[in-house]
Amino acid sequence: QKPAEEAKSLSEFEQRVVELTNAERAKQGLPALKIDTELSKVARIKSEDMQKNNYFDHNSPTYGSPFDMMKKFGISYTSAGENIAQGQRTPEEVVQAWMNSAGHRANILNNGFTHIGVGYVESGNYWTQQFITK
């Protein structure tokens, strides 16, 4: 897929999160993550699930762990990770919050990850980043 085609399936906010994430990686000399549109759909469903079911956790009452959830949606990977956040109003705020947290920062700067999916739900400001190695 061409980058322009990939971008169409992500909202402006989701696209901006990818750009900011890759800018942080570039500062550390790491390669940019590629957008995986299918993974982005899963990340958006995760954000919607948290909003709809009023929880904030990596483990979903609906889908289980992020890893189980990815498998349920047919995402194949050799390794995976997830960042979630709630309440931040802009992509800049959420990426900054993740970069200020050791565990989240480690996912963003993980040299092993190759692809990213981002899902944002405006109602309640739920954010999900999912990372995989293909």
User: Of 27, 128, 46, 35, which Cα lies nearest the Cα of 84?
Assistant: 128
Q: Is the pLDDT of residue 27 over 90?
A: yes
Which helix (H) or strand (E) segment is 12 a member of?
helix 12-27
Q: Buried (b) or exposed (e) across 47-62, using 16+ Cβ within 10 A? A: bbbbbeeeeeeeebee
Q: Give the mean pLDDT of 94-121.
A: 98
- pLDDT tens-place string over residues 40-59: 999 999 999 999 999 999 99
pLDDT classification of 1: cutoffs 50, 70, 90: very low
Give all domains of the chain, ordered by start, each with its CATH number.
3-133 (3.40.33.10)
- pLDDT tens-place string over residues 69-100: 999 999 999 999 999 999 999 999 999 999 99
pTM (global) more than 0.85: yes
Q: What is the pLDDT of residue 2?
A: 42
